[in-house]
Amino acid sequence: MKLLTGNDLKTGFVTWWTGADWSLHIEDAADVGEAGEAILAAEEGARRVNAPYIINGEATADGPRPAHIKDRIRALGPTVRPDLTLKPADPAAGDWVI
Amino acid sequence: MYKYDEYDHAMVDARVAEFSDQVRRRLAGEITEDQFKPLRLMNGLYLQLHAYMLRVAVPYGTLDSRQMRMLAHIARKYDRDYGHFTTRQNIQYNWIKLEDAPAILQDLASVEMHAIQTSGNCIRNISSDQWAGAAADEITDPRPWAELLRQWSSFHPEFSYLPRKFKIAVIAANEDRAAMRLHDIGIQIVEKDGQHGAAFYVGGGMGRTPMIAPLIKDFVPLDDMLSYAEACLRVYNRYGRRDNIYKARIKILIHELGADEYRRQVEEEFVHVKSLGIDPPKAEFDRIAAQFAPPPLDASAPDAIDRSDPDFAVWVDQNVAEHKVSGHAIVNISLKPIGGIPGDASSAQIDLMADLAEKYSHDELRVTHAQNIVLPHVRKGDLYAVWQALDAAGLATPNLDLISDIIACPGLDYCSLANARSIPVAQKIATRFSDLGRQKELGELKLKISGCINACGHHHAGHIGILGVDRKGTENYQLSLGGSGAEDVSLGTITGPGFDEDGVVDAIERVTDKYLATRTEGERFVDTFRRVGMAPFKEAIYG
Amino acid sequence: MVEHIHSDGEEPAVTLDAFLSQSNATAVRLEPDEDARALIPHLDRLALIEVAFPKFRDGRGYSSARILREAGYAGELRAQGDVLVDQIAYMKRCGFDTFAPEKELNAADVEAALARWPEHYQGAADGAVPIWKLRHG
Ligand code: HEM
Ligand code: SF4
């Protein structure tokens, strides 16, 4: 599957395209098929996202997962600071990242 | 320490106003990211893996307690309660919001700090010897020279769109604690006929094509230094390669021209530039130098240290260095606790170090290129109190220059250019070698890790270097041996095929075992490597 | 004075090669990789030198401009091409006095940019008195 990701222009936070909007959570990400370029152009133009790009992903029981380790780390947060990730209370949250 | 006058304040304030306006225009959609990027980079603002990252300059690594507290304040108020000290004597914050950036720069300006030219293809923060003004082996304090260069290079109209970034280091001792010859320009202040002048080494660097800077001019008098630097830069700006970002650094130009031809062109340009009258008079140097006057240290302070607490004694032996004034010492604070993140410090730790500087070190701190902090002027009689406070804050790891005093770039945990993570590797190595007796047995061993070929972690200059690479989507680590960023500068040699994370830790253990078995009396690891060469180590690693 | 140029109806600038080989043109265009010093023998018959900035990141034109001013060129020195508002203050310091940006600049932004810097640390080609000189009179 193809996923869209970028950073929020104002906050810089990593965001994922849900099909209608941008979310901080990879679980909300939608498969955009071939529509990626067009969506990115429109969304970047409207400043709803900064420096966006298209990645390969995989559908899993827990939701979409980026194919590349870099975007998996982006999706959760630094592997060396679990307290700063999106799921600080869940010790197993990072199991799929590496 | 240098104090801003009305002009310095006005310049930094103007920059804050300018950047605030640029941020406003970006947020309002008046400029594109493509246009905004070089502007934010010249103010130290990157877009990194998780958010914007702000790199704040600590010019020549020197700061006072008020400035240090401001760094803690920024971490607390705008970031996530910590900062990362880097090999270029800067501090980086990893979770900055673009909309907060103008306010942060304003806060910094209020304590005479900034993020100007900490990124971008311009002249970057000038780095220097972290022991400047305190080291027993320096011929003079290099920082007035560095400050002169800082002012000259700030908002330089001709050199703000260079082919590539440009890094300058200035030292004034024979021992090189600033990796001087691995900079685009490395300056060593030397003495000739009773005068101080600048030896210019030009064209060093790391990255994918590491090079050691050749000597271009052995003695440039103070009166000519800025003209000479201007000539060096103009030749580069005009003729440095712009067709390929990987060949755009000055080291490639000098490599392609040859040092002699580059020198000839610089000399020719220098004759012209010198006629323009751009060198400040001696009075300006004296004005700056007066602000770096040595603090009032009492040379009759007692030299003896009460070593009755064994943990304290271990720390003194490893982390405390001789000061040029008797009765005093240089305290090196390790930001490398075993299993910690090299170079990271919490707001509370930053505040504590500021307090100690104020109370015990004439209000001065330094950031080192090895990602540690220095209290440069501590009375020996105060060392125990300093150690107790550091120890209580987890800042008294006695491992300076030992194998666990690892330089590591942020790597794939934070950096969008990374191929592999650096920090977990550093943590595993430090944990494997956590026994202090074992570390001391290995002696001075500089281990440096970069998460990609950009070499921010100085791996080429590590006695042991580790480079993270991407091997078909998985992290892989190449090992190199025999580099040095010190006065015995050299570039490491790759051992052979790479390893996974645990594999590289095992390989290092085999290398250190081999060293212990091979060394002769008094040899450091790198000395043994230079004597026996790669073969025995390769044999030990790969069988 | 700094002004915006709308280049209708003026004599077109010729290439450096054309200028050097024959022409009695009084306007020449300098590309980033061309040596500004080649013009030095001819400065007194030039009324306009247009320095090209095909990409704003390519900073060679800043050196070209200074070299020309340092050699005494007193005619019009124009920055043409990918010239952005955030660069013109530096360009002016390097000796440019007119700008022909490919994309129209907002006049108020231009004004603000040129008024931004109260003083300057270093001497350049705009005659500004550097801060060190102000400090020491
Ligand atoms: C996380 C954001 C960072 C980015 C995007 C980044 C980017 C880069 C790049 C692209 C280069 C190669 C330049 C070239 O070869 O032309 C480089 C070199 C370097 N960086 Fe970084 N860096 C980052 C963080 C750091 C940190 C944290 C440090 C200090 C620990 C650092 C210190 C250096 C040094 C010392 C070099 C080598 C200089 C040389 O090539 O001569 N950088 N960096
Ligand atoms: S070496 Fe590579 S991974 Fe490490 S900080 Fe530099 S660019 Fe990032």
Q: What is the pLDDT of residues B202-235, one digit of tens each?
A: 999 999 999 999 999 999 999 999 999 999 999 9
Q: State the distance from the centre of ligand 2 to the C-alpha of B412, rounded, in angstroms.
A: 8
Q: Does the predicted interface ipTM exceed a cut of 0.90?
A: yes
The finding on whether B410 has its CB within 6 A of some atom of ligand 2 is yes
Q: State the distance from the centre of ligand 1 to the C-alpha of B454, rounded, in angstroms.
A: 6
In chain B, the percentage of residues whose pLDDT exceeds 70 is 100
Return the pLDDT at A64. Answer: 97
Strands B447-450 and B364-367, by their bridges, are unpaired
What sign does the CA torsion over B236, B242, B243, B249 have? positive
Q: Residue with the nearest Cα to atom 25 of ligand 1?
A: B456
Tokens 């270097």 label which residue?
A: B465
Strands (E), B323-363: 328-333, 344-346
At a CB cut-off of 8 Å and minimum separation 6, what does B33 contact?
A: A44, A50, A51, B26
Mean per-residue pLDDT, C1-30: 77
CA distance B290 to B295: 11
Strands C27-30 and C3-4, by their bridges, are unpaired
Mean pLDDT of chain B: 97
Return the pLDDT at B35. Answer: 85
The confidence band for C2, taking pLDDT boundaries of 50, 70 and 90, is very low
Residue C112 and residue B278: Cβ atoms within 8 Å? no
Q: Residue with the nearest Cα to atom 31 of ligand 1?
A: B456
Q: What's the domain count of chain A?
A: 1
Mean per-residue pLDDT, B318-347: 98
Strands C48-53 and C76-81, by their bridges, are parallel
Tokens 């982390």 label which residue?
A: B319
Closest in B47, B423, B475 to A50, CB measured: B47
Q: How many CB pairs under 8 A join B and C?
A: 101
- DSSP track, B60-98: GGEEEHHHHHHHHHHHHHHSSSEEEE-TTS-EEEEEE-G
Q: Do chains B and C touch (3 or more CB pairs under 8 A)?
A: yes
Pick the CATH number of B6-110 from 3.30.200.210, 3.90.480.20, 3.20.20.70, 1.10.3470.10: 3.90.480.20
Residue type, C123: G
Mean per-residue pLDDT, B161-180: 97
Return the pLDDT at C1. Answer: 38
Mean per-residue pLDDT, B61-69: 98
- For chain B, the structural domain boundaries read 6-110, 142-290, 310-392, 407-542
Searching chain A, which residue's CA lies closest to the CA of residue B54? A12
Distance from CA of B211 to the nearest CA of A (A): 30
Mean pLDDT of chain C: 92
B132, B142 contact by CB (below 8 A): yes
CA distance B528 to B519: 6
CATH topology of domain B142-290: Sulfite Reductase Hemoprotein; domain 1 (3.30.413)
Distance from CA of A1 to the nearest CA of B (A): 18
Report the atom number in ligand 2 closest to the C-alpha of B412: 3
First to last CA, chain B: 54
Return the pLDDT at B103. Answer: 97
Distance from CA of B523 to the nearest CA of C (A): 48
Residues from chain C contacting residue B152 (CB–CB below 8 Å): 121-122
Q: Model confidence over B487-513: pLDDT tens digits?
A: 999 999 999 999 999 999 999 999 999
pLDDT value at B338 more than 50: yes
The verdict on B11 touching C (C-beta cutoff 8 Å) is yes
The verdict on B194 touching A (C-beta cutoff 8 Å) is no
- Contacts of B among chains (3+ CB pairs under 8 A): A, C
The finding on whether B51 has its CB within 6 A of some atom of ligand 1 is no
At a CB cut-off of 8 Å and minimum separation 6, what does A61 contact?
A: none
In chain B, the percentage of residues whose pLDDT exceeds 90 is 97
Q: Model confidence over B387-434: pLDDT tens digits?
A: 999 999 999 999 999 999 999 999 999 999 999 999 999 999 999 999
The confidence band for C5, taking pLDDT boundaries of 50, 70 and 90, is low
Return the pLDDT at A72. Answer: 96
Task: Answer whether B6-110 and B407-542 agree in fold.
Answer: no
Its CATH class, for the domain covering C3-136, is alpha beta
Q: Residue with the nearest Cα to atom 12 of ligand 1?
A: B454
Q: Model confidence over B279-296: pLDDT tens digits?
A: 999 999 999 999 999 999
Residues from chain B contacting residue C56 (CB–CB below 8 Å): 35, 38, 161
- CA–CA distance from B306 to each of B309, B310, B334 (Å)? 8, 10, 22
The ligand whose atoms approach the alpha carbon of B162 most closely is 1
Report the atom number in ligand 1 closest to the C-alpha of B85: 30
Print the domain residue range for A11. 2-97
Return the pLDDT at C11. Answer: 72
pLDDT value at B323 more than 50: yes
B349 alpha carbon, distance to own chain's centre: 20
The finding on whether B413 has its CB within 6 A of some atom of ligand 2 is no
Tokens 């570390």 label which residue?
A: B439
Residue B21 and residue C87: Cβ atoms within 8 Å? no
pLDDT value at C92 more than 90: yes
Searching chain C, which residue's CA lies closest to the CA of residue B237? C60
- For chain C, the structural domain boundaries read 3-136
Residue C119 and residue B39: Cβ atoms within 8 Å? no
Distance from CA of A72 to the nearest CA of B (A): 10
Residue A13 CB burial class (10 angstroms; 0-12, 13-18, ≥19): middle
Distance from CA of B49 to the nearest CA of A (A): 6
Angle at B336 between CA B61 and CA B382, to 5 degrees: 70
pTM of the model: 0.95
Residue B49 and residue A74: Cβ atoms within 8 Å? yes
Q: Model confidence over B29-42: pLDDT tens digits?
A: 998 998 899 889 98
Distance from CA of A83 to the nearest CA of B (A): 10
Q: Model confidence over B431-471: pLDDT tens digits?
A: 999 999 999 999 999 999 999 999 999 999 999 999 999 99
Instruction: Report the interhelical angle of B225-239 vs B143-153 (nearest 10°).
Output: 50
Residue B64 tokens read as 């006072």
Of B472-476, B497-501, B525-529, B532-536, the one with minimum mean pLDDT is B472-476
CA distance B474 to B468: 10
Query: Which CATH superfamily hosts domain B407-542?
Result: Sulfite Reductase Hemoprotein, domain 1 (3.30.413.10)
Mutate to test the pocket of ligand 1, among B249, B367, B454, B460 (most ligand atoms within 8 A of CB): B454
pLDDT value at C9 more than 60: no
Searching chain C, which residue's CA lies closest to the CA of residue B121? C57
Residue C116 and residue B5: Cβ atoms within 8 Å? no
Searching chain B, which residue's CA lies closest to the CA of residue C65? B158
State the best of C86, C104, C117, C136 to mutate against chain B, taking most chain B CBs within 10 Å: C86
Residue C122 and residue B156: Cβ atoms within 8 Å? yes
Return the pLDDT at B422. Answer: 98
SS3 state at B384: helix
Return the pLDDT at A94. Answer: 87
SS3 state at C49: strand
Residues from chain C contacting residue B282 (CB–CB below 8 Å): none
Residues from chain B contacting residue A73 (CB–CB below 8 Å): 49, 412-413
Name the residue among B485, B348, B360, B404 with its Cα closest to residue B69: B348
The verdict on A89 touching B (C-beta cutoff 8 Å) is no
Mean per-residue pLDDT, B19-32: 93
Q: Model confidence over A27-73: pLDDT tens digits?
A: 999 999 999 999 999 999 999 999 999 999 999 999 999 999 999 99
Q: Residue with the nearest Cα to atom 9 of ligand 1?
A: B454
Q: Residue with the nearest Cα to atom 2 of ligand 2?
A: B452
Mean per-residue pLDDT, B110-137: 95
